Chain A
C-alpha cells in the first residue's frame, strides 16, 4: 500500500463515513424524527367529503 493509497482510502472511507454521520446527526438531533409523520387525520371518512 503506497502513501497515495492510504490517502485515497482515508479520504474515500472517511468522507463517506463523515457524510453519513453528519446527516444522521442532523436527522436525529431534530425533535420528532421518530414521531409519526401521519396520524388519524389521514383517514378519509365520509364526513370529510364536500357536500
Chain B
C-alpha cells in the first residue's frame, strides 16, 4: 500500500523541546514536589532527588529519545512499530499494548483534572471563587464540584450554572485537545506548546513575585512570614533529626525517585513517539537534556518557591505538616490561601491558568502516541484516527465523571494504569534499550549528531544502574501498595478488584481497551509484514 500523505513532523528544534518539556511539566511540578521536599527536609530530599535525576530520569529520557529517533529513521513513529524494530521477536510489538493504554487511559482522568484547573481559573476571572474565611467553604465547593459524596453528583450544579459544572469544562477541554491533535504535530501540538510554555513560565513568575513579596501578612502571627515559609521548605534538617538521619530514610529515597520518574514523564511511550519525528542526524542528547532541564526549572525553581511558602504564610505549618493530598492542597488549601492574599483573585487566576496550560501540554502528548499508531499501523487518516480515539477516551472519561464517589474511578485508573502499568512499561523500555538494542548501539545512536559530550560512564549507568534502580523502586512500591499495604485507611487494591463493582467495571473497561489495541497491533503487524515483503521502506 502506498502512502501519499506527507509525514507529520516538527518544524523547529525549539518546538520539539518545548513539546517534550510541556509533556513533562504538569500538576506534580507545582503541587506534589513541594509537598515531598517539605515533608522530608529540603536538603536531604534534594540529594536523593539529584541522584534519581542523574541515575534514573535522565538515562531513561536518553533511552526513549534514542529509540524514538532510531525508529523514526526506519519509518516508524509508534511504540509497537519501534519495539518490533528494536526487538525482532513476535511478541515485541504486543508490549505496545502497554504503550497505548498507559497514555490513553491516563488521559481519561487527566483531562478531568485539566477541566478543574480551567474551571477554577475561569471562576477566579469572574470573581466566583471567594467562599469566605472558613476553609470548609472551599472544601464544600470542591467536593461537590467533583462529586466526591455520591456517584454522578458533579452532574448537578444547583445555583452555580456553567461555572459550577465540571462536565461543561471537561467538554471544553476535550474539544480543545482534539482540535489541536487533529491539526497535527506542527500546527497543533507544536504551535500550542510554543506559546503555552512561555505563557506558563510568565504566569508562574508573576505568582512567584507575589508570594515572595508577602512579608508578614498577619502581624498577629509574626512567625508566619515568607522567610519562615521558605525555611520550612528548604531547611536541610527538620527539628529533632540530623541531616544524616534524614538521608538514611529509605522511604524518602523512594519518594524522590518516584517524583523524578513521574515528573519527567519518562516511561510513558510519549517521548519515543515525539522523538521519532526528529531527523536522523539531528541532535537528541542536548534536546533531551534541555527538556529535562526545563521540567526541573519549573519544578524546583518555580514550584519549589510558590506552593509551600504561600500555604505556610497563611495557613501555618500544620497544613504543610499534614498536607491534605495533592488535590486537597491544590484545590482546597490554596484557594483558601488566595482568598486571604492581597490581589488574591488575580494570583488565583494566574496559578490555575498555569496549571491548566501545563495540563493541556501534557494531555496532548498522551493522545499523540495512539494517533500515530492508528495512522501508521492501520493506515487510518487523521480524521478517522482522531474520531476513534475521541470515542474511546470519551467513554472512559464519562465513567470517571460518573463514578465520582471518593473519586474511585479516577483513583483506580491512577493506581493501576498511572502507576503500576507505567512502572512496568518503563522497566520494559529500559531493558529494551540497555540489553536488547544494546547499551553500546544505543549510546552510538544517542551520540549521532550530539552537540554535547555524553560521558562513557552513562553507558554503564543505562545498562546496569538504571534498570536496577528502577526495579528496586518498583519492587518497593509493589511491597508497599499491593503485597504488604500501608496505612489502615488504604484499600487493599487486589481485594478491591473483586469486592468493589466500580473498580471491577473500570478494570474490565481497561481490559477491553487493551484487547482492542491488541487486535489493532495484530492487524498492524500483518500490514507491516506485507509492506516489508513488497520491499517498501516505509510501512503504512
Contact = CB atoms under 8 A, between A and B. Distances in A.
B342 to A, nearest CB: 22
A39 to B, nearest CB: 9
A9 B305 CA distance: 9
Contacts of A19: 293, 296-297
Given A5-B234, A9-B42, A44-B7, A34 B296 contact: no
Interface of A is mostly: helix
Interface stretch (B8-16, B416-424, B464-472): B8-16
A22 to B, nearest CB: 8
B234 A9 contact: yes
Interface stretch (B278-286, B324-332, B394-402, B437-445): B278-286
Given A4-B43, A24-B290, A44-B7, A9 B14 contact: no
B378 to A, nearest CB: 17
Interface residues of A, number: 37
Given A33-B12, A36-B12, A16 B43 contact: no
B201 to A, nearest CB: 10
Contact of B5 (A32, A37, A44): A44
A8 B227 CA distance: 14
Interface string B298-328: 0111001100000000000000000000000
B538 A44 contact: yes
Contacts, number: 125
A51 B294 CA distance: 47
Contact of A35 (B12, B46, B230): B12
B236 A5 contact: yes
Nearest to A43: B6
Contact of A33 (B14, B235, B236, B300): B14
A38 B293 contact: no
Contact of A46 (B2, B43, B289): B2
Contacts of B235: 1-2, 4-5, 8
A18 to B, nearest CB: 9
B55 interface: no
Interface string B237-260: 100000000000000000000000
Given A12-B304, A13-B304, A23-B293, A34 B46 contact: no
Nearest to B41: A8
B230 to A, nearest CB: 5
Nearest to B46: A12
B102 interface: no
B3 to A, nearest CB: 6
Nearest to A25: B290
B532 interface: no
Given A12-B42, A44-B3, A20 B14 contact: no
B505 interface: no
Interface of B is mostly: helix
B228 interface: yes
Contacts of B46: 8, 11-12
Contacts of B294: 20, 23
B501 interface: no
A37 B279 contact: yes
B17 interface: yes
A41 B296 CA distance: 36
Nearest to A36: B11
Interface string B493-515: 00000000000000000000000
B234 A1 contact: yes
B254 to A, nearest CB: 20
A32 B279 CA distance: 13
A45 B4 CA distance: 6
B231 A23 contact: no
A23 B278 CA distance: 18
A16 B300 contact: yes
Interface string B10-54: 111110110000000000000000000000001100100000000
B159 interface: no
A13 B301 CA distance: 5
Contacts of B535: 50
B297 A16 contact: yes
A33 B293 contact: no
A12 B300 contact: yes
25 contacts: A1-B227, A2-B237, A4-B236, A5-B42, A5-B43, A7-B236, A8-B46, A9-B42, A9-B234, A9-B304, A12-B234, A13-B305, A16-B300, A19-B296, A23-B293, A33-B13, A33-B14, A34-B12, A34-B14, A35-B12, A37-B13, A38-B11, A44-B4, A45-B4, A46-B2
Interface of A: 1-2, 4-9, 11-13, 15-17, 19-20, 22-24, 26-28, 30, 32-38, 42-46, 49-50
**What 6 A-B pairs have minimum CB-CB distances, sorted nearest first?**
A1-B231, A38-B9, A23-B290, A5-B235, A9-B234, A43-B6
Given A4-B235, A9-B233, A36-B11, 4 more contacts: A16-B296, A27-B290, A36-B12, A46-B2
